[in-house]
Amino acid sequence: MWKDHLTEIIIFAVLFLLVSVMGFVAARWRAPNDMAHLDEWGLGGRSFGGWITWFLIGGDLYTAYTFVAVPALIFGAGATGFFAVPYTIIIYPLVFLVLVRLWSVSHRHGFVTPADFVRTRFGSPTLALIVAITGIVATMPYIALQLVGIEAVLKTMGVTGESALARHLPIIIAFAILAAYTYQSGLRAPALIAFVKDTLIYIVILVAIIYVPYKLGGWGSIFDAASAKFEKSPAATDGLLLNANNQIYYISLALGSALALFLYPHSITGVLASRNRDVIKRNMSALPAYSLLLGLIALLGFMAIKSGVKPLPGATKGTVDGNTVVPLLFDQQFPDWFAGVAYAAIGIGALVPAAIMSIAAANLFTRNIYKEYLSRNATPQQEANVSKITSLVVKLGALAFVIFVNPQYAIDLQLIGGVIILQTLPSVALGLYTRWFHRGALIAGWVAGMALGMWMLYQIPNLNTKREHFGGSNFPLEKFGFDTKWTIYVGLVAVAVNLLVAVLLTLILRAARVPEGTDGTTPDDYFADEGDPRVTPGRARDADSARESVA
Amino acid sequence: MSEPHAEEPRRAVDPEPAETAVVEAKDRNPWNWLLFVPIVVPLITPLFNRDAPRLFGFPTFYWLQLAFIVLGVGTTTLVYQMTKKRR
C-alpha cells in the first residue's frame, strides 16, 4: 500500500520537482548566443569544461538501469554480475585512444553524430545511413529501460494501480516533464541535472556501504551468506566466484560491453560536448570514480541476499521482478526519509541518460536522415527544430513501449542493442584510425555481423523466464560444434565475423577496382584542438573565436 | 590557414594511402602503449578468481578487481601527463 510509504513518496516528489525546475532554467545556463542551432541545443555549444563533462558523462554512462540491474544480476547469479567493474575500467583507456580523435575531426568539420563522420570519411551516404539507423534502433530500448528503472522504484513505494492508466500515470507525468525541459534546454538540461543526480547517488552509496554492512554483521558475513545461497542453488552458472565454464563469457562480456558502450550515440554526444581534447583526456582519469561507485552498488546485491530480500512479482504470473531487489533493500534497511532520498537518486538518475539518449537519437535522425534525404538545404535553425521535435517523438516511443509492451522486451531489446551497436565498430572506431577498409566491404561486414548476432541470440533460451529465444547473450560454444560447456558473449563473435568479412571484401573490391569514394578528412583533422580553424560543411561559420575562450 | 578548406574539401583517396603513415606517425607516442595495461589486466580472470586472501571481508575476486580501478586511473593519468602538449 502506498500509504505506508508516504514519507518516501513525499521526499521523492520534492526532489523530482526540484530537478524539473533546474531542467527548465538550464536553457539560460552558460547563455548561448543562439539556441536555434544544433550545436547549441544538441551539444551544449561544444563548450563543456572538466567538471561539467565529468558529471555529464558519468550521469550518461551509469544509468538508473545500471544501478538497478547490476545488483539484481549479482543477487541472482553472483560473480558474473561483477563484469560491470572490468567493463567500466577498460572503457576509459579506449576512449582516451579513440574518441579523442573523433572529437578532433568532429570539431574541425562540425560533425554532430558518428554517422556524420562516416559519411565524410568514406564518402558513403549509405554507410552513414546504416550507422545512423543502427544507433537509433540500439538507443530506443535503452531509453525505455530508464523507465523500467523508475518503475522499479515506484513499485516498491506501492505506487501501482489496477488499471493500466493508473499504474503508468506517474511515469507518464515524469516523462512529460522530462520531454518538455529537454525540448527547451537541450543538452544543457541533463548537464545541469547531472550535478544533483550524481551528488545524491554518491551520498546514498557511501551511506549504504558503511551503514548496511554494519547493521548486517560486516562484509565477511555478507559474502558468506551469498556463498551459502549459491551453493544451495542447483544452477550451474551462479557462485561467489567464476567457474570453469563462464570465465570466457565474463571476459568477452566485459570487453564487448566496453566496445559497445563507447559506440553508443549518447556516449559520443557526451564526448563531443566537451570543450577540448584536454578536457576529455583528463576526464578519463577522473571518471573511474564512477566505476568504484558501480562496483560498490553491485555489491548491494549480496547485501540483499543477507538481508533476506524477496523480489516483488514480475509482469507475468510466476516470475519475479529482479529489478526491485535494490529498492526493497533500501526499504528494509534505511529509515523512511533516507529511502526516499535513495529512490529519488535512482529516479533522477533515469532522467539524465534518458535526456541525452533522446538528444543523440534525434541528432542522428536530423543529420543523417532528414538533412541527407528529406531536406538537403536545411538551415542550422531548421536542424535544431527538427531535432527538438524528434526528441519528443523518441521519448513518446519509449513511453509507449513500456506501457503497451511487456517491459521484459525492453530488457531483451537492450541486450540486442549492445550486439548491434558493436557492428558499427569497423566503420566508426577503426575508421578513425584507417581509411584502408572499402565502404562496400564495411556494409557487407555489417550485414554479416548483424545476421550472425541475431541468429546467435535467437538460439539462447532463458531458464528463468522459460522462454526459448533471446534469453541472454551467453552463447554456448557447443552449438558451433566445440566439445565444451564454455559460453561466450554474442556481440564479440559477431563483430569478429563482421571484421573478417570487411577485410576479405576490401581486398576483393580493391582488386576489382571498384570506386572507393573520397575521403573528406585530412590526417591533420584527427589532432585538431580548441582554437584550430574549422571547416563547417555548407555555410561556413567562424565558430572558434570569442565563445570558446570563456572558462 | 582556413583558405585550403574554404569549401568542403574533396580529394581522391590514393589506393595506397601514403598519408595514413603520416597520421600514425604523428599520433604515435610510446606512452600510449601503456594504456593497454588497464585494458588487458582486468580481463585475466586467473589473476583474481579466488576467495582467499580476503581483505576487509572481501574475497580476492572482489577487492582485486576494485583495485584495478586504481591501476586504470594511474595509467591514464601517467599517459596524459607524458603526452600532454606543451603550450
| Strand B11-12 with A474-476, pairing | unpaired
pLDDT for the residue A262: 84
User: pLDDT category, B69, cuts 50, 70, 90?
Assistant: very high
Nearest chain A Cα to B1, which residue?
Answer: A533
Q: What is the pLDDT of residues A347-371, one digit of tens each?
A: 888 888 888 899 899 999 988 888 8
pLDDT for the residue B3: 38
| Strand A518-519 with B11-12, pairing | antiparallel
Residue A488 is inside which H or E element, if any? strand A487-489
Q: What is the pLDDT of residues A495-520, one digit of tens each?
A: 999 999 999 999 998 888 888 888 88
- CA quadruple A132, A56, A262, A107: dihedral sign: positive
Per-residue pLDDT at A44 exceeds 70: yes
User: Taking CB atoms and an 8 Å limit, are B35 and A241 in contact across chains?
Assistant: no
User: Residue A179: which residues within 8 A CB-CB, separation 6 or more?
Assistant: A391, A392, A395, A396
Residue A333 is inside which H or E element, if any? helix A325-333
Per-residue pLDDT at A546 exceeds 60: no
pLDDT for the residue B13: 44
**Cα three-residue angle A534-A539-A542, rounded to 5 degrees:** 40
Neighbours of A289 (CB within 10 A): 15
Q: Which residue has the higher pLDDT, A534 or A463?
A: A534
Neighbours of A166 (CB within 10 A): 11
CB A249 within 8 A of CB A487: yes
User: Taking CB atoms and an 8 Å limit, are B80 and A282 in contact across chains?
Assistant: yes
Nearest chain A Cα to B19, which residue?
Answer: A523
Neighbours of A173 (CB within 10 A): 11
Per-residue pLDDT at A316 exceeds 80: no
User: Taking CB atoms and an 8 Å limit, are B42 and A240 in contact across chains?
Assistant: no
Q: What is the dihedral of CA A226, A222, A473, A88, to 10 degrees?
A: -160
Q: Which residue is associated with the grid cell 572481501?
A: B58
**Cα-trace Rg, chain B:** 22
Angstroms from B79 CA to nearest CA on chain A:
9
> CB-CB: which of A97, A219, A288 is closest to B58?
A219
**Cα three-residue angle A407-A412-A418, rounded to 5 degrees:** 130
User: pLDDT category, A426, cuts 50, 70, 90?
Assistant: very high
How far apart CA A314 and CA A148 sit, in angstroms, is 12
The cell numbers describing A518, all together, are 573520397
Per-residue pLDDT at A465 exceeds 70: no
Q: Which residue has the higher pLDDT, A545 or A24?
A: A24
Please spell the DSSP secondary structure of A383-438, one letter per residue.
Answer: HHHHHHHHHHHHHHHHHHHHHHS-HHHHHHHHHHHHHHHHTTHHHHTGGGT---S-
Q: Which residue has the higher pLDDT, A484 or A250?
A: A250
List residues bridging with A462 in a β-sheet. Answer: A467
Find, among B85, B58, B40, the residue nearest to A532 by Cα: B85
User: pLDDT category, A494, cuts 50, 70, 90?
Assistant: very high
What mean pLDDT value characterizes chain B? 72
User: Taking CB atoms and an 8 Å limit, are A518 and B15 in contact across chains?
Assistant: no
- CA quadruple A206, A208, A209, A213: dihedral sign: positive
**Cα-trace Rg, chain A:** 23
User: pLDDT category, A311, cuts 50, 70, 90?
Assistant: confident
Neighbours of B54 (CB within 10 A): 14
Per-residue pLDDT at A57 exceeds 90: no
> CB-CB: which of B10, B15, B65 is closest to A510?
B15
Find, among A541, A545, A550, the residue nearest to A37 by Cα: A541
pLDDT for the residue B14: 41
Nearest chain A Cα to B36, which residue?
Answer: A93
Q: What ranges in chain B are assigned the alpha helix state H?
A: 18-27, 36-40, 60-83
CB A101 within 8 A of CB A433: yes
Interface residue of B23, B26, B33, B77 to substitute, partner A, most A CBs within 10 Å:
B23
Please spell the DSSP secondary structure of A165-229, one letter per residue.
Answer: HHHHHHHHHHHHHHHHHHHHHTTHHHHHHHHHHHHHHHHHHHHHHHHHHHHHT-HHHHHHHHHHH
Q: What is the dihedral of CA A179, A184, A190, A195, to 10 degrees?
A: -120
- Residue A314's region, left for phi above 0, alpha for psi from -120 to 50, else beta, is beta
pLDDT for the residue A186: 83
Per-residue pLDDT at A332 exceeds 50: yes
CB A198 within 8 A of CB A55: yes
Interface residue of A83, A102, A219 to substitute, partner B, most B CBs within 10 Å:
A219
The cell numbers describing A175, all together, are 516523462
Residue B12 is inside which H or E element, if any? strand B11-12
CA A310 vs CA A38, A72, A123, A301, A320: distances in Å: 47, 11, 55, 12, 9
pLDDT for the residue A425: 93
Per-residue pLDDT at A136 exceeds 50: yes
Burial of residue A56 (number of CB atoms within 10 Å: 0-12, 13-18, 19+): buried
How far apart CA A503 and CA A510 sit, in angstroms, is 11
pLDDT for the residue A128: 92
Angstroms from B30 CA to nearest CA on chain A:
13
pLDDT for the residue B79: 87
DSSP label at residue B85: P
Per-residue pLDDT at B23 exceeds 50: no
CA A17 vs CA A4, A21, A157: distances in Å: 22, 6, 18
Q: What is the pLDDT of residues A518-538, one digit of tens each?
A: 888 888 888 887 777 777 543
User: Taking CB atoms and an 8 Å limit, are A435 and B20 in contact across chains?
Assistant: yes
Nearest chain A Cα to B52, which residue?
Answer: A241
Q: Picking from A23-32, A138-147, A272-281, A463-472, which range would have the lowest pLDDT averaged per residue?
A: A463-472
Per-residue pLDDT at A159 exceeds 80: no
Q: What is the pLDDT of residues A74-124, one digit of tens each?
A: 888 888 888 889 988 998 888 888 888 899 899 888 888 999 999 999 988
Nearest chain A Cα to B67, which residue?
Answer: A292
Q: Three-class SS of residue B11?
A: strand
How far apart CA A157 and CA A153 sit, in angstroms, is 6
Per-residue pLDDT at A549 exceeds 70: no
Q: Picking from A155-164, A392-401, A512-521, B67-76, which range would have the lowest pLDDT averaged per residue?
A: A155-164
Per-residue pLDDT at A177 exceeds 80: yes
Per-residue pLDDT at A243 exceeds 90: no
> CB-CB: which of A218, A250, A288 is closest to B72?
A288
| Strand A474-476 with A487-489, pairing | antiparallel
Q: What number is the average pLDDT over the span B34-43?
A: 87
What mean pLDDT value characterizes chain A? 83
Partners of residue A242 in chain B, C-beta under 8 Å: 45, 49, 61
User: Taking CB atoms and an 8 Å limit, are A523 and B6 in contact across chains?
Assistant: no
Find, among A392, A346, A288, A387, the residue nearest to A57 by Cα: A288
Q: What number is the average pLDDT over the span A64-80?
A: 84
Nearest chain B Cα to A123, which residue?
Answer: B10
